[in-house]
């Protein structure tokens, strides 16, 4: 953080660059490297803190490499850390998150694929109007619709249940995913569809036999988008999942903000890394696909 | 005849397949919004009640310091977050465009915070900015005793700590979107500006930037939506504190429909949260409509001109 920045003034002699290493070049790299340090520091701090023992943490060398590496905090965070009276660590939260994320991802993608397919090839009266409403929904703050949804879910009897939270995630994933699939199917040649129609295939046949196999790449983008989004969700998990299905993010927050006893920062940081692990792995493995997912999700507008 | 009937049958299937979409579009984004707005004119507590009290809840809302601070905070947070993510994001994108060999590595580093949840972001920064064991103490231990940096514990500065965390999480995405915008600019523009002897930095700011309005608008809208929705970050990093110093409208609404059991006031706040989004969308709609109109006129002129020439 405190290292000297290589000075680069703006008034270099203009003209052809003498060699590859010019002051401007150094300036560019300096800016990028300093930014990179700012972006990596929190991850570094998290990792280091989680590997230290509490006495070492209390000495206050936040950025230092641990004197002796200890994985006790990780074990404790996973297995025995307490939220209130329950001392089961993060693992129930992890499994709850899996139970929520997997079906929500599948359900929301199937619905969105059908929507996008219908919007591209089977426009019916008003279909674009409903799509417009849905796109508007992508911008609506959740707080505006959350209370009526609580009431409605309670009436139906799925409030604070696993099916409830799965349906909720499918609802809120629908705007962006539908846009994603509509744009994808819209880019397919119409002749393909017409040929299938002439062969006598109907709505569902064309969908299952022609469109679905072709939409594997876009589905991968959608899976990345949904898995990271749903895994990282906190608001819906804390309101709609109920105590029995509390996802990992909610449990993490409870563990860290539990005020009873001494605060074990190493356990907290280990728990934080564990909660971030799944989306981070998805991110590092998927690489370019992740960026594509963001770009696709961001085109709303 | 048979063909037409089949088409109709297909349409029926399409409507059946679109039932989830239709019910969400109408049920959630029309009925729920109307329901929320209606409740903001009632004295509902924990459960909805339909005894109308006029604008009383709005009066109560604006009389509450908690809400006043929330509104102040969201403007400050929104303005600084959007300004920082856009400026830093663009600078990073420009620097990344300089044929950097390790571009992939840098991109990975700048973007990974976006893969993490806002809860994780909040908890990490709460720890990094801890007054006793965070950056401040580490710097003091290294001999920089004068270094004082613990914004989160002071009500005056807490919001800036939250902004740092927000910028850390959101800059990478902006960079990625803007970099895609820069790369989408025609190579000929660069050749032309080189021929004219315009320095590269001026080309980036005076020529390229105005040409990638779409990418900038996308990044801007993305950040706006995330600002209005900011909830998890606040709950994790300060839980609205110290005191009520970092309250936000989104937190205000959730607190009022749950622990404070005052849905009327909560829904009044939620209704007000919808306003900036409607203004934003309306503004965009008008701009697009005008752009389309100008383009049409331009086309018409071109057609006339070409007709005159021939």
Least confident segment among A159-168, A175-184, A288-297, B230-239? A288-297
**Model confidence at A277, in pLDDT bands (50, 70, 90)?**
very high
Q: How many CA atoms lie within 13 A of B62 on its CB side?
A: 5
Number of other CB atoms surrounding residue A238 within 10 Å:
22
Task: Give the model's pLDDT for residue A39.
Answer: 94
Interface test with A, best of B45, B49, B100, B109 (most A CBs within 10 A): B109
Query: Judged by CB atoms within 8 Å, which residues 87-126 of B form the interface with A?
Result: 88, 91-92, 95-96, 98, 100, 106-121, 123-125
Tell if the CB–CB gap between B32 and A31 is shorter than 8 Å.
no
B212 touches chain A (CB under 8 A): no
Separation of alpha carbons B262 and B57, rounded Å: 10
Residue B35 in domain? no
Task: Give the model's pLDDT for residue B7.
Answer: 60
State the DSSP string of B74-136.
HHHHHHHHHHHHHHHHHHHHHHHTTT-TTHHHHHHHHHHHHHS-HHHHHHHHHHHT-TTTSHH
Contacts of B40 (CB under 8 A, 6+ apart): B57, B58, B264, B267, B268, B270, B271
Residue B120 in domain? yes
What's the structural domain count of chain B? 1
Given B106, B125, B266, which is nearest A36 (Cβ)?
B106
A142 touches chain B (CB under 8 A): yes
Q: Collapse the DSSP code of B52 into the 3-class scheme (helix H, G, I; strand E, B; otherwise coil) and give the result.
A: strand
Token pair 């710097």 in the structure block, residue: B139
Task: Give the model's pLDDT for residue A126.
Answer: 85
B143 touches chain A (CB under 8 A): no
Query: Judged by CB atoms within 8 Å, which residues 157-186 of A form the interface with B?
Result: 170-171, 174, 178
Residue B46 in domain? no
Residue B105 in domain? yes
Query: Judged by CB atoms within 8 Å, which residues 188-247 of A form the interface with B?
Result: 202-204, 207, 228, 231-235, 239
Least confident segment among A123-132, A256-265, B75-84, B271-280? A256-265
- The domain defined by A91-298 carries CATH number 1.10.3720.10: yes
Residue B292 in domain? no
Separation of alpha carbons B168 and B125, rounded Å: 10
Q: CATH code at B222?
A: 1.10.3720.10
Q: Where are the domains of chain A?
A: 1-70, 91-298
Is B229 a residue whose pLDDT tops 60?
yes
Task: State pTM to two decimals.
Answer: 0.86
Task: Give the model's pLDDT for residue B37.
Answer: 92
Task: Give the model's pLDDT for residue B8.
Answer: 64
User: Nearest CA to CA, how far is A121 from chain B (Å)?
Assistant: 9
Residue B121 in domain? yes
B261 touches chain A (CB under 8 A): no
Tens-place pLDDT, residues B112-138 = 998 888 999 999 999 999 888 888 888
- Search chain B and give the residue with CA nearest A11: B199
Is A149 a residue whose pLDDT tops 90?
yes
Residue B272 in domain? yes
Residue B138 in domain? yes
Is A298 a residue whose pLDDT tops 70?
no
Interface test with B, best of A4, A32, A266 (most B CBs within 10 A): A32
State the complex-level ipTM: 0.85
Least confident segment among A69-83, A90-104, A233-247, B82-96? A69-83
Boundaries of domain holding B166? 65-282
Percentage of chain B beyond pLDDT 90 is: 37
Query: Judged by CB atoms within 8 Å, which residues 150-209 of B form the interface with A?
Result: 168, 171-173, 176-177, 180, 199
B53 touches chain A (CB under 8 A): no
Give the closest residue to A62 by CA, choosing from B140, B144, B169. B140
Is A125 a residue whose pLDDT tops 90?
no
Given B25, B221, B239, which is nearest A130 (Cβ)?
B25
Is A86 a residue whose pLDDT tops 80?
no
User: Nearest CA to CA, how far is B236 from chain A (Å)?
Assistant: 6
Task: Give the model's pLDDT for residue B53.
Answer: 87
Is A18 a residue whose pLDDT tops 50?
no
Q: Which two tokens stand for residue B60?
A: 């109560």
Tens-place pLDDT, residues B170-219 = 999 899 889 988 888 888 888 888 888 888 888 888 888 888 888 888 88
Task: Give the model's pLDDT for residue A5.
Answer: 39
A168-185 mean pLDDT = 91
Tell if the CB–CB gap between B232 and A32 is shorter than 8 Å.
no
Taking a C-beta distance cutoff of 8 angstroms, is the pair A203, B13 a contact? yes
């Amino acid at each position: 953080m405190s290292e000297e920045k290589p000075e680069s003034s703006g008034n270099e002699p203009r003209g052809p660059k003498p060699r590859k290493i010019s002051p401007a070049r150094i300036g560019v790299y300096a800016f990028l490297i300093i930014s990179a340090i700012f972006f990596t520091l929190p991850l570094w701090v998290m990792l280091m803190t989680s590997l230290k023992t509490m006495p070492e943490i209390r000495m206050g060398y936040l950025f230092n490499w641990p004197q002796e590496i200890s994985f006790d905090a990780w074990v404790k965070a996973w297995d025995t850390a307490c939220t209130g009276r329950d001392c089961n660590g993060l693992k129930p939260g992890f499994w709850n998150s899996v139970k929520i994320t997997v079906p929500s991802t599948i359900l929301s993608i199937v619905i969105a694929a059908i929507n996008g397919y219908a919007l591209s090839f089977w426009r019916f009266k008003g279909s674009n109007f409903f799509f417009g409403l849905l796109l508007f929904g992508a911008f609506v703050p959740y707080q505006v619709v959350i209370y009526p949804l609580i009431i409605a879910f309670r009436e139906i009897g799925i409030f604070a249940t696993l099916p409830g939270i799965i349906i909720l995630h499918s609802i809120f994933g629908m705007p962006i995913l539908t846009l994603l699939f509509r744009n994808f199917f819209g880019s397919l040649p119409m002749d393909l569809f017409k040929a299938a129609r002439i062969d006598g295939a109907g709505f569902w046949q064309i969908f299952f036999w022609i469109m679905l196999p072709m939409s594997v790449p876009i589905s991968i983008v959608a899976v990345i988008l949904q898995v990271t989004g749903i895994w990282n969700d906190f608001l819906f998990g804390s309101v709609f999942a109920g105590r029995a299905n509390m996802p990992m993010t909610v449990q993490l927050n409870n563990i860290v903000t539990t005020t009873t006893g001494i605060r074990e920062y190493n356990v907290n940081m280990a728990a934080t890394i564990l909660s971030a692990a799944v989306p981070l792995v998805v991110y590092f493995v998927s690489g370019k696909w992740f960026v594509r997912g963001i770009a696709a999700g961001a085109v709303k507008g | 005849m048979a063909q037409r009937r089949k088409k109709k049958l297909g349409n029926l299937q399409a409507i059946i397949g679109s039932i989830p979409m239709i019910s969400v579009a109408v049920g959630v984004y029309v009925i729920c919004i109307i329901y929320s707005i209606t409740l903001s004119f009632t004295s509902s507590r924990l459960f909805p009640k339909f005894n109308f009290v006029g604008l009383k809840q709005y009066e109560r809302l604006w009389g509450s310091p908690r809400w006043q601070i929330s509104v102040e905070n969201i403007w400050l947070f929104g303005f600084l977050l959007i300004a920082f993510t856009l400026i830093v994001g663009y600078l990073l994108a420009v620097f990344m465009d300089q044929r950097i060999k390790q571009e992939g590595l840098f991109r990975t580093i700048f973007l990974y915070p976006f893969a993490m949840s806002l809860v994780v972001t909040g908890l990490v920064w709460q720890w990094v900015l801890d007054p006793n064991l965070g950056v401040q103490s580490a710097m003091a231990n290294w001999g920089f005793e004068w270094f004082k940096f613990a914004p989160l514990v002071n009500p005056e500065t807490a919001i800036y700590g939250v902004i740092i965390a927000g910028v850390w999480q959101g800059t990478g995405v902006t960079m990625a979107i803007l970099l895609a915008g820069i790369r989408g600019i025609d190579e000929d523009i660069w050749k032309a500006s080189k021929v004219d002897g315009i320095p590269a930095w001026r080309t980036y700011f005076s020529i390229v930037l105005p040409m990638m309005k779409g990418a900038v608008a996308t990044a801007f809208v993305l950040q706006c939506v995330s600002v209005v929705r900011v909830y998890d970050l606040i709950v994790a990093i300060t839980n609205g504190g110290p005191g009520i110093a970092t309250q936000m409208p989104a937190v205000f609404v959730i607190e009022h429909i749950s622990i404070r059991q005052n849905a009327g006031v909560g829904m009044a706040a939620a209704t007000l949260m919808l306003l900036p989004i409607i203004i934003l969308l309306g503004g965009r709609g008008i701009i697009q409509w005008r752009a389309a109109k100008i383009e049409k006129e331009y086309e018409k002129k071109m057609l006339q001109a070409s007709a005159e020439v021939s």
